[in-house]
Amino acid sequence: MIERINIPLNITFDGYEEDRLVCPVINVWNDYDDRWGKGIAISVKHGSEGVLLERRSNACKVRVGDKVGWVTFYFIAELKQKWQEAGCFVPTAN
């Protein structure tokens, strides 16, 4: 079952994987499909807050202060939690 979320949604950036912090700083990209070409809009610390503006599959458009950019849903605590609760595979670091 697909659960709808209301957008805009206040979010928390999450750099945890299982029980350890693997990404203390999360990049928010200017362009999700051309991340390296278009560069970083802003880097945020794990636990920082923002607003989800749009979601396209794994890509999430977010606002942090006056900056807008894109991040993978797995770095958003509220979306990662719903994904894990649904019993989806949780990747592990090597």
**CATH code of the domain covering residue 14:** 2.30.30.40
Taking 50 as the threshold, does the pLDDT of residue 44 lie above it?
yes
Per the domain annotation, does 92 fall within a domain?
no
E strands in the chain? 9-12, 16-17, 20-21, 25-29, 40-45, 49-56, 59-64, 67-72
Is 78 among the domain residues?
A: yes
Range of 55's domain? Answer: 10-85
pLDDT in tens, 6-26: 889 999 999 998 889 999 999
Handedness of CA 38, 25, 16, 9 (dihedral sign): negative
Q: How far apart are CA 43 and CA 56, in angstroms?
A: 21
Residue 92 has pLDDT above 50, yes or no: no
The answer to the question of residue 16 being in a domain is yes
Which residue type sits at 66?
Answer: D
Looking at the structure of the chain, the number of domains it has is 1
In a domain, 91, yes or no: no
- Assigned domain for 4 exists: no
Residue 71 has pLDDT above 60, yes or no: yes
